Each structure stands twice: as structure tokens, then as C-alpha cells.
Amino acid sequence: MNTVKRIAVLVSGGGTNLQALINAQNKGIIKSGKIELVISNKADAYALERARKANIKTAVVSKKELGGSQRAFENNLITLLEDNKIDIIVLAGFMVILSERFTSTYPRRIINVHPSLIPSFCGEGFYGLRVHEAALKYGVKVTGATVHFVNEVPDGGEIIMQKAVAIREDDTPETLQKRVMRLAEWKILPLSVEKVCSELL
């Protein structure tokens, strides 16, 4: 009997976190789940190419092509997820805020990685380099990444894992972003996915 949980990864850009998940799956770090589907809101996202190279099914759902309708966008997402019998949804650099209607359809089934130690530098408007710019401007000595469940509040769901990364004197937002990815995001995201999948088994 096939007992692994079916995972969908939602992406918008280059897909470095997706690659970390694919690598972790290949190494057996993720063994209680399998990435079955990668969905992007952008047809030109390089993450889709990464998925194809790994023989993972891909799909594109564009809010723009649906007339900017959040409801139509989320309905299309839900249909795709249901058709592919998805158990777990991983947001890996997915740049669309999901409504309460969507998140409440999948309680404790959607996880996201955020590039700071929540509750610092999180919530609406805090994404990408902005998070690292804010950390440096504030002068904190330690930052990191957080994997959390997704609910109706941006970055407001229950924390699954965190990992700290020290800030260096000469850091720029770009160098800090790269180091947080390498030392924190790419490590705790696969471990969190395995933890959530194994707990659902």
C-alpha cells in the first residue's frame, strides 16, 4: 500500500527552495511524502524548469489571465490540488497571498518558509530582500528562517521549525539573503515537510 503523502509545491520564481526539496527527496530526507505537482502563478518561472528536469508534473495558474479574480484563481488551484489528490501544500517563494477561504480549506496542510525569525520582520509587505533590508536597518545581530503553517494571517500560523543565522558586520541584504537560504531555509524546509508528512501518516 502506498502510504506516502502527496505534496504540491507552489512557486513564483527561481525555485531554489523547490530545488532544496527535490534534493532532500532524492537523498531520502523527505521519505514520508513525494512531490507530485509544482504549480506556478507565472508561466516563465524557472522553478517550472527545475520541476520538469526532476520529472515532476507542472501547472500554471495565472491570476492575470483570470481577470485578476482571487476567487477564480483559488478555485483553479483547488481543482488542480483535488485532481492530483494532494495532501500537503508547500509555499516556496509563492508571491500570492491566499485568502481565508483557501487556507481554511486546508487546515494545517499548508506550510510556508519565511526568511526571518518570526515574529520579527514578518507579515504583509515583508518578503524577499525587504525582510533582510529591515533586519540590517534595525541592527539585529541574529536573523534566520521560520517554517510555519499558513492561516488567514500573513506569516501568522503556528511555527513548525526555526533556525538562527548570525549577521556579519559587512552584510548586505543580498549576502544575508543567500546565507539565510543556504544555512537555514534549505535545511529546515525539507525537515519540516518530512515532519508534517510523517505526522499525517
Catalytic residues: 114
d(CA 175, CA 177): 5
Question: Burial, 100: exposed, middle or buried (Cβ in 10 Å; 0-12, 13-18, 19+)?
Answer: exposed
Q: Position 61: which residue type?
A: V
Strand partners, 147: 113, 161
The answer to whether 19 and 92 are in contact (CB under 8 A) is no
Which three-class secondary structure state does DSSP give residue 131?
helix
Cβ burial of 64 (10 Å; 0-12, 13-18, 19+) is: exposed
Give the dihedral sign, CA 167/16/92/63. Answer: positive
